[in-house]
Amino acid sequence: MKQIPGGITAPQGWQAAAVAAQIKPSGKPDLTLIYSPTPAVAAGVYTRNLVRAYSVDYDQAITQKQQPVHAIVINSGNANAATGTRGMEAVHETAGLFSSLLQIQPDQVLTASTGVIGVPLPMEKIAQAAPSLVTALSATGSDQAAEAIMTTDLVAKTLALETDLDGVTIRLGGIAKGSGMIHPDMATLLGFITCDAAVEVNLWQTLLQEVTALTFNQITVDGDTSTNDLVLALSNGQAGNALICDPDSPEAAILKQMLTEVCLDLAKKIARDGEGATKLLEVQVSGATTDQDARKVARTIAGSDLFKCALFGCDPNWGRIAAAAGRAGVAFDPAHLAVWMGDIQLMAHGEPLTFDRAAAAAYLKGDPVLVRLDLGPALGQGSAWGCDLTYDYVRINGEYTT
């Protein structure tokens, strides 16, 4: 796998653009279009929050029908959530507007939103900006898109890869935004993946779900999930490879590896850019009964407020790690537990070791920080990613802004 520039416009046949539609009070770009003139197979994973924006329901209905799509329209600055029937109308109006301009069907346009909740989406601003957005579409528009989907993210998040598949070059790119937050919004995770491989739609959906379980679903900033979270993956077949249908084929394995590398990179970037975060935390768990158990333990530790504060304070507090593992809802024998921070082992066979606290504290000053746990002799393993809990998290989320 070779990293290449170009993000979501690196794969063949993909264009993107962004404009400032004045939805964000800052006047920064806030309306983004991702487009392939060739129809693409579409897969999606969606927030499990019961209270969700209509755009999530809308996209899910389309990807479940397995219809090919051409475009994704994303606005930042307004989540278009909890706005009742007006929210539903706004999604259909947006899809209708862009389908007219792009001369495609309305249900070939997916939509996503992030920003303030409970405020109607200013459709007149979107209508006014739409023609110039379509005109601006470009095969080098990925960076514009990656910037425009941000809310209070500090850095744009993007990666593209290319590889050889039976003599054909295939490319896969992604952009994402994460845990920046604007009042009174929840942290929203949006991820957009483009690809030029020819892939069967069921397989594409399966790959996205499997990869999301190991990447985007294994990051935590504060345990809160959003009304608007989604990851959409589109592949338009422009690479010219033979259609990938068989999940057990080497080609499917390569495609999955590409998707995993891009999603993992974006997920880690989101965790590192968590609100107020000063460092990325990676938790690796081995020796669990199943991989799922291992992931659950890793996620519980990465989500422990107590340990996240200790991480901020560079305090090698293994007791909090052991206790978080113990409450993860996963069966293991505490007498087998071993814990490391980096290469420093703090616990073996469920008992604390004498260790160099100063060296451990110095290790925790670095970024990223790796915590490893071994739960026992079984073979289940998994990882999760998070960040530290800092004064700035409280400040960002506690500021009185009404």
Q: Pick out residues in 162-221 that bind a copy of itself (CB under 8 A).
A: 181, 183-187
326 binds a copy of itself (CB under 8 A): yes
The structure tokens listed for 160 are 């593209």
| CA 26 – CA 302 distance, rounded (Å) | 33
DSSP H helical segments within 273-365, as ranges? Answer: 291-302, 305-312, 318-326, 357-364
Strand ranges, E, within 227-336: 230-235, 280-288
With CB under 8 A as the contact rule, the residue among 96, 357, 367, 379 that binds a copy of itself is: 357
- DSSP states of 153-166 as a string? -SS-EEEEEEEEET
Name residues contacting a copy of itself, limited to 55-114 (CB under 8 A): 81-84
Smallest CA-to-CA distance from 320 within 238, 217, 389, 230 is with 389
Note if 188 is an active site residue: yes
Of the two residues 65 and 327, which places its CB atom closer to a copy of itself in the complex? 327
Q: Of 143, 162, 222, 265, which lies in the binding site for a copy of itself, with binding defined by CB under 8 A?
A: 222
Residues 255 and 241: beta-carbon distance below 8 Å = no
- Rule CB under 8 A: is residue 327 a binding residue for a copy of itself? yes
Q: Tokens 């935590």 sit at which residue?
A: 220
Number of Cβ within a 10 Å radius of residue 283:
30
One residue of 112, 322, 341, 384 binding a copy of itself per CB under 8 A: 322
The interface with a copy of itself within residues 25-54 (CB under 8 A) comprises 48-52
Give the 3-state secondary structure percentages of the chain, helix then strand then coil, rounded to 5.
Answer: 35, 30, 35
The residue among 131 and 223 lying less far from a copy of itself, judged by its C-beta, is: 223
Could you tell me which stretch among 9-17, 35-43, 151-159, 317-325 binds a copy of itself (CB under 8 A)?
317-325
CA–CA dist 13, 11 (Å, integer): 7
Give the active site residue among 47, 63, 188, 215.
Answer: 188
Question: Would you count residue 318 as binding a copy of itself (CB under 8 A)?
Answer: yes
Q: Does 361 bind a copy of itself (CB under 8 A)?
A: yes
Q: Does position 377 bind a copy of itself by CB under 8 A? A: no
Q: Annotated catalytic sites, by residue?
A: 188
Please give the residue ranges that form the binding site for a copy of itself (CB under 8 A). Answer: 48-52, 81-84, 117-118, 181, 183-187, 222-227, 304-306, 309-310, 312-320, 322-327, 331-332, 334, 337, 347, 350-352, 357-358, 361, 389-391, 393-402
